[in-house]
Structure 1
Amino acid sequence: MLLAIDVGNTNAKFALFRGSDLLARWRIATDDRRTADEYMVWLDQLMRIEGHARGDVDAVIISTVVPRALHNLQLLAHKYFGVEALVAGRGAVGWGIALKVDEPQAVGADRAVNAISAQAVEPGKDKLVISFGTATTFDHIGPDGAYRGGIIAPGVNLSLEALVAAAAKLPRIAIEAPANPSVIGRTTESQMLIGVYWGYVAMIEGLIARMKAEVGKPMTVIATGGLATLFQEQAHLFDRIEPDLTLNGLMHLYAKQNGQK
């Protein structure tokens, strides 16, 4: 089995694949101080709960936007699974897609992996991939799978945290869809929720429209990340939601590296 690890700024996701089948997935808060031993104690218990054994894993692939977390994950692969981890975008593990931007070396590993995954689900079409994380990113993937650039915006939770931190009297609220479509709030909390939710919807709609107009061709809008479903519930912004887009991208990258389809 393949253990795929995607480390974001907020969470690290782990998944087990047998071929192209995703068998199990887990997440843990990103902490670049976490040791290989700590990862294994946590992971071993979860694998057992799902009916998998450590010895079932014969390959590991890692994608990370947190460079300091990499060493301990490589050590995890070596010490506990007896394999040398492949690191997406490094060494012999090329992307297999063109990065048609001015600074290809600066493209985040997660965005390149998402491009690989998006091409697998919508080959031959222009795609707009929206990823909801610490930042919200909008990426144009060409019909040939090439990464052609995109947009980086503050993530929803990051925006809300900044608002609460800067305004002493504003309460901390949870991100959720407003109870009704009104954009005139009657309480402080409802006004904050409207501003965050519908304000973000307006930003997404506007950036989708601008990117489609600039590309000048139909685009399939693919969303990933935990908040994608929340926005789709009331705003219907996306053509499809792929919760495991990044993890599946790592699976496809590993398959390409090993000459598999």
Structure 2
Amino acid sequence: MILAVDIGNTNTTCGFFAEDELLFRFRLFSSLNQTADELALRLNGLLELRGKSLADIKHLLIGSVVPPLTKTWLEMASIYGIEDVKVATPEKIGIPVKLRYPCEVGVDRVLNALAGWHKYRQSLIIVDYGTATTFDCISEKGEYLGGAIAPGVMAAAETLFKKTSKLPRLEFSKVPEEIIGKDTISAMRTGVLWGFAALTDGLITRLAGEFEKKPYVIATGGLAKLMARLSLQIKEVEPDLTLEGLVIWFKKKNE
């Protein structure tokens, strides 16, 4: 049994795997203030809801962009007897990173590239809708070429709420039916959702112009399904790409 953990700035996404099969996933809020014991309590409670426990974890795989939380997870594993713990870093993942400063890239982006290449075996642009919106380019040879980083959809909406006196906080349960907003809420939804769809399609067009052959476009992250409905460029949604990347990396290490 494998617990793959993607520690992000806002949420920590966990996937429980039996070999290659994802049995279930859940999310934790990425709290910098929690102790190792508090983390174990939350984690074990969520596992028990699905008939599992900490004792069922044979391998713990961590991909993290939040170093203090990596430390908390490692401490939790040590206290509660999870012996096989592996932390992915960009240079360990095993695909060429063609950047000026490879150490700067987030491990989640390289894990996405690994999983995307493993599934599609062709040039790709991967859009990840997380705290930031990232665009990652993978060559026909499976090389990580770089990409672009834009604000996250939720972060942009939250900024509108916090930096203005009268605009409310948005929720994104549905797509605006009309492009021209007839009230404040619908105008904000149009601006944020359709605006980010236009940003997505525009950046993909620009990035794709740097490829020799047209890349295939996939999306992942919390808002990927919603944004894929608005984008003209996204072809597939892969909701568990980072978690799958961790498992692929682990299995390649143990071949």
Q: Could you say which TM-score interval applies, normalised by the shorter chain?
A: over 0.9
Question: Which residue in the other structure is 1:38 paired with?
Answer: 38
Question: Which residue in the other structure is 1:88 paired with?
Answer: 88
Counterpart check, 1:205 vs 2:201: yes
Q: Which amino acid aligns with 1:110?
A: D
Question: Which residue in the other structure is 1:231 paired with?
Answer: 227
Q: Which amino acid aligns with 1:232?
A: A
Instruction: Name the CA shift for 1:171/1:82 in 2 (closer, same or farther; >3 Å).
Output: closer
Pairs within 5 Å for 1:58-77: 58-77=58-77
CA distance in 2, matches of 1:165, 1:51: 41
Instruction: Name the CA shift for 1:72/1:84 in 2 (closer, same or farther; >3 Å).
Output: farther
* Structure 1, unpaired ranges of 5+: none
Question: Which residue in the other structure is 1:162 paired with?
Answer: 159
TM-score relative to the length of structure 1: 0.93
CA distance in 1, matches of 2:168, 2:102: 41
Identical positions, percent: 38
Q: Residue 81 of structure 1 aligns to a residue in which SS?
A: coil
Question: Which residue in the other structure is 1:102 paired with?
Answer: 100
Q: Which amino acid aligns with 1:107?
A: V
- C-alpha RMSD of matched pairs (Å): 1.6
* Structure 2, unpaired ranges of 5+: none
> 4+ runs of 1 displaced by more than 6 Å?
none
Q: CA deviation at 1:216?
A: 3.3
Q: Which amino acid aligns with 2:203?
A: L
Instruction: Name the CA shift for 1:20/1:187 in 2 (closer, same or farther; >3 Å).
Output: same
Q: CA deviation at 1:201?
A: 0.9
Pairs within 5 Å for 1:1-261: 1-89=1-89, 94-123=92-121, 125-180=122-177, 182-259=178-255
- Asked if the contact 1:77–1:83 (Cα under 8 Å) also holds between the matched residues in 2, the reply is yes
1:189-225 Cα offsets, whole Å, 9 max, x none, are 2211111111111111101111111213121111001
CA distance in 2, matches of 1:162, 1:222: 27
TM-score relative to the length of structure 2: 0.95
Q: Residue 9 of structure 2 aligns to a residue in which SS?
A: coil
CA distance in 1, matches of 2:182, 2:38: 47
Q: Which amino acid aligns with 2:118?
A: A
1:164-205 Cα offsets, whole Å, 9 max, x none, are 22211112221244442x332221222111111111111111
Q: CA deviation at 1:234?
A: 4.0
Q: Residue 208 of structure 1 aligns to a residue in which SS?
A: helix
